[in-house]
Amino acid sequence: MPEPIEPAPQPEAKKPVNDFVQKTVEEVRRQPGKSLVWAFFVGIFLTIFPIGRILSLVTSIVFGLLRPVLLLLGLVKISEVISEKRK
């Protein structure tokens, strides 16, 4: 007879997420009314405020400024190397 397969151990990176999910499940089971009210108001908030557009704007600004910042850091590093060679 084949032996039962044991579940694979969970990676350490997923442990905090699983702990958070477990705590959330326990809280929802303990206070379902409060959880329902919170879910309703969070849904209204996400509907009214354009969170997706704000995140998209922030992301585009960060990636737009990434090239000049990297160029500036490269120039600073080159100037440090040149100043060290002069000494």
What pLDDT digit, counting tens, does each position of 8-39 carry?
555 666 788 899 999 999 999 999 999 999 99
Which residue do the tokens 């329902």 mark? 36
The Cα 14–Cα 70 span in angstroms is 33
Q: What gap in Å lies between CA 25 and CA 34, rounded to an integer?
A: 13
pLDDT bracket for residue 51 (50, 70, 90): confident
pTM assigned to the model: 0.45
Q: Where are the domains of the chain?
A: 18-49, 51-87
